[in-house]
Amino acid sequence: MEPIIQARGLAKRYGNHQALNQVSFDIAPGRIVGLIGPNGAGKTTALKGILGLAEVEGELSVLGMNPVKQRRELLEQVSFIADTAILPRWLKVSEAVEYAASVHPKFNRAKAEAFLAKTKINPKSKISSLSKGMITQLHLSLIMAIDSKLLVLDEPTLGLDILYRKQFYTSLLNDYFDAEKTILITTHQVEEVETILTDLVFINDGQLVLNVAMEDIAERFVEVHINKQQQDQAAALKPIHVSPRLGGHTAIFENAERAQLEALGSLHTPSITDLFVAKIQPNVAWGHAQ
């Protein structure tokens, strides 16, 4: 299937800072991709490029279009929440709905109103009088009512409490997502998107460090608990990351022979958080033990 996003050699430099450095990836339709990286890794720059908000070097095609040159056409197919709680404060809820309904050909007004009816938001109130959680709900209601092919969410749950976060992802999956749609989420709160992602992209210092489908993670990465006695044996198998734990270490191996590892101890699939640390800040020194 034709990829939704095709990026080849993306680069962007702000003064001395290389925000993106030769990043290439494809995103296929029907996926939920997590673009994950520490602050300043280049996530937002990549998203801005994809949304046509900023020009980036390299080849970039989104739904077959050039995001900067065909931004208006692109935005009929792509919706995004760049940052929550950025809705203009003077706008009324009903006006926000009316605006989207008039300018967006793919906006379904009834759907938006149905979403809003489930919340406590009064259509007559001004956004300045809503709480942060309500603004996010409103924004999400507007965006989910757009029948877009690609939804881009940049740190969508920043500053929200746990209840809203749960609700956010639940409604995203239940009310919006289907096989025709693609969602691209950036966040640095890995654990909360873990369960919904189909693909994982790690980015650090402007470079792509990992691009893997969730179902391949178990096959590709293995986590083993290692006793002190087995340290040398484990080190020989070249773990990508080692972290100390009670009574020994946890080592993460990439593409290692399972048979050899089984001799060391029981095998697990690493959590995405651990994998994130392993990829972003790898540590192969055996800490105090050595």
Partner 1 sequence: MNNYITPIKREFWEFRGTFTWLPVISAALISLCMIAALALYASGVINYSITDDDFHITTDSHKTHSHEERLIIERDALVEARKDLQQASDEVHQRFTEDMSVDIEKELDKAQKELDRQGIDITIKRTELRIDHGKIREEVGRQINREIERIDTKIARIDAELAQQPMHRVPPVAPVAPAAPAADGAIADAPEPAAPKASEIRRFPETVTVIERSEDVGFTDDNIESVNDVLTGFNALFSGLMLMVSIYYLLSCLYTDRKDNSILFWKSMPVSETQQVLTKLGVALVALPTIASLCALVVGIVFVILTMLYVAGYAASTSPWDILMGVELFSVAIGHWFTAMGVALWSLPFFAWLIFCSAAAKRSPFMLAILPPAVLMIAEEIIFDSNLLLELVSDRIPGIAVDDNGFSGYVRFSESGISPLGEFIASPALWVGLIVAAGITYAAIWLRNNRYEI
Can you give the binding site for partner 1, defined by CB under 8 A? 48, 51, 53-55, 68, 71-76, 79-83, 86-92, 95, 98-105, 139, 143
Around Cβ 80, how many Cβ atoms within 10 Å? 20
Of the pair 69, 258, the CB lying nearest partner 1 is at 69
- Report the nearest approach of partner 1 to the CB of residue 75 (Å): 4
Of the pair 5, 278, the CB lying nearest partner 1 is at 5
- Report the nearest approach of partner 1 to the CB of residue 98 (Å): 7
Q: Give the pair of three-digit tokens for residue 271.
A: 């959590």
- Report the nearest approach of partner 1 to the CB of residue 50 (Å): 13
108-111 long-range Cβ contacts below 8 angstroms, 24+ apart:
108/145, 108/146, 108/147, 109/145, 111/144, 111/145
Of the pair 158, 212, the CB lying nearest partner 1 is at 158
Of the pair 91, 213, the CB lying nearest partner 1 is at 91
Name the H helices within 18-156.
Answer: 43-51, 71-74, 93-103, 109-117, 132-144
- Report the nearest approach of partner 1 to the CB of residue 175 (Å): 19
Of the pair 45, 167, the CB lying nearest partner 1 is at 45
Say how far apart CA 43 and CA 153 lie, in whole Å.
11
Say how far apart CA 121 and CA 158 lie, in whole Å.
20
Say how far apart CA 170 and CA 114 lie, in whole Å.
16
Residue at token pair 């993306």:
10
Say how far apart CA 219 and CA 110 lie, in whole Å.
44
- Report the nearest approach of partner 1 to the CB of residue 67 (Å): 12
